[in-house]
Amino acid sequence: MAKRKMNKSYFKSLFILILTLTVVAGCSGKTNTDPTDSAAPSPENASTSSPNSTDSSSAGMDTKEFVTLTWYMPPPLDPRPNEDKVMKYLNEILKEKINVNLVFKFVDWSTYAQKIKVSSAAGEEFDIFSDFGSIGFSQNVSSGIALELDDLLNQYGKDIIQKNPDKAWQAVTSNGKKYGIANPSAWVETPNFAFRNDIVDKYNIDYASIHNFKDLEPVLKMLKENEPDLIPYLGVFGMPQTFDKITPTIGYDTTDGKWKSLLDSKAWLDVTRIQKDWYEKGYIPKKVVEGTDSVAEFKTGRYAVTSYSIYDASFVKISTDFATPMVASPLDYKNLVTGSSIRGAINYISKTSKHPERAMMLLNLLYADKELFNKFAYGIEGQDWDYVSGKGTDNPTVKTKDQMGWAIWHPWIGSLWDQWPSNWNSQAVLDGLKSAIDKAEYSPYVGFVFDSAPVKKELAQIEAITPETRPLFMSKDLDGKIAEYKDRLNKAGLETVLAEIQKQVDAWKATGGN
């Protein structure tokens, strides 16, 4: 993916987001304009609808008044040299469809949350803001920044409702009211082991039969003995998705139905013991890889095997990302959709918006009009991307320019499943991600949102300790170190936090939470 200036903690938590967090967006319809011309395409060429057409999202509302909408968002790409041309192009389409002019205000990650809070408190008029975890659903609701959306969705957001799974709405509902739109995305990972294809061919490795750490270990042992210049495994260990986190350390363990610290999770303990064993055997590097760019690290050529969060049976995406031919095999991990994964990309309408109806119409338009959705994401044909195949169809394949001048990642503005396949995500990748979510279980607490205010001090103390637990596998006495950190977490207030969680869970259930 193109390099972006983003908060590191955001990348580590999401996505999923990120992933999801890992998806480029944008696109444009056919125009008769020279791609190198400084003028954006005319309205006649920018839209396929007739000038007098009425979009489904605007049905029943008078849109004669021309209004400007403001949308706050962290920068998906920085810098964005083609921004002026793209926005001129998009606004010509938006004027025709719902008679609005859109202004994006991109605010740096480091100051984004504070900017939204201050702007709202000061009564600044803005219409839409995106949140990828930096502010938090609970804060957006309790502080009054976010507008309640039920009536707006029912009147002007029917396409949004149709494309969002019913269970997903629980994650953005408080006291029976919807306050955000969680865009369908990679809510579960599809973790897999990724192998350099040249190594697989050289040793005739049966990679397709490897689905867990036990299966992988004989291969790493063989590579350790036969490839002295290679480190067998990069050292990135994913966790089974059975732990519904509300903080990086604390969550609900679906394997035994208890709220607990990660250090008390059997899955975490099992993986940590494997890490220690492989560390001592020299299968993983002596330095801690966590916190670094694992893809960039693998590209150094020092490793034979790594892990990857998106399974692509064609191996095109993984080979593109690692810049070398790769093959992969999916892990036999359980997939679990959690409230935090759903809330990884949410759009809100601001309480200060003067035009909330038109803001909802705009958001719905990105769900209703697949072509416009991709134009928002990819930019202008010939300037930001080109067709690869399927030109003129509903689902062409496109390729972004190597030097990108515009991009908004698809999950940030709408449903990932409406993305045109591209050099970043093939149709096979998109289908695989969608299939994983369709098959996944939902956490029983997908709709529970924890209010951390009553235990703010205790959580701060606990999270200050958390980074120290990550290299525990390097300890000579692992069990002793685990016991030491459990004691420190208890002294920091773990039991107080767990009691507060249970109190809020009971209250949530009493009001109909499920």
Average the pLDDT over 466-483 and give the result.
Answer: 85
At 386-426, the pLDDT tens digits run 999 999 999 999 999 989 999 999 999 999 999 999 988 88
Rg (CA), the chain: 24
**Of the segments 186-200, 276-290, 373-387, which one has the largest average pLDDT value?**
373-387
Percent of the chain with pLDDT over 90: 61
Answer whether 297's CB lies under 8 Å from 234's CB: yes
Check pLDDT > 60 for residue 34.
Answer: no
What is the SS3 assignment for 392? coil
d(CA 218, CA 205): 10
Is residue 311 very low, low, confident or very high in pLDDT (cuts 50, 70, 90)?
Answer: confident
pLDDT-wise least confident of 143-152, 159-168, 316-325: 316-325
Residue that wins the pLDDT comparison between 61 and 381? 381
Check pLDDT > 70 for residue 54.
Answer: no
Task: Give residue 294's pLDDT.
Answer: 83
d(CA 435, CA 439): 6
Helix/strand/coil (H/E/C) assignment for every residue in 394-449? CCCEEEECCCCCCCCCHHHHCCHHHCCCECCCCHHHHHHHHHHHHHCEECCCCCCC
Is residue 27 very low, low, confident or very high in pLDDT (cuts 50, 70, 90)?
Answer: very low
Averaged confidence pLDDT in the chain: 86
At 254-305, the pLDDT tens digits run 889 999 998 999 988 999 999 999 999 999 998 755 556 788 899 999 999 9
d(CA 84, CA 40): 9
At 228-259, the pLDDT tens digits run 999 999 988 877 778 888 887 899 998 899 99
Answer whether 409's CB lies under 8 Å from 24's CB: yes
Is residue 36 very low, low, confident or very high in pLDDT (cuts 50, 70, 90)?
Answer: very low
Check pLDDT > 80 for residue 486.
Answer: yes
d(CA 120, CA 423): 39
Q: For residue 131, give the nearest of 354, 340, 353 by alpha carbon.
A: 340
Check pLDDT > 50 for residue 216.
Answer: yes
Predicted structure pTM score:
0.77
Is residue 4 very low, low, confident or very high in pLDDT (cuts 50, 70, 90)?
Answer: very low
At 98-141, the pLDDT tens digits run 999 999 999 999 899 999 999 999 999 999 999 998 888 888 88
Answer whether 112's CB lies under 8 Å from 140's CB: no
Instruction: Cis check for the bond before 356: say yes or no (omega within 30 of 0).
Output: no
Task: Give residue 391's pLDDT.
Answer: 95
Check pLDDT > 50 for residue 447.
Answer: yes
pLDDT-wise least confident of 76-80, 208-212, 293-297, 468-472: 468-472
Average the pLDDT over 45-65 and give the result.
Answer: 56
Contacts of 436 (CB under 8 A, 6+ apart): 186, 188, 189, 190, 311, 335
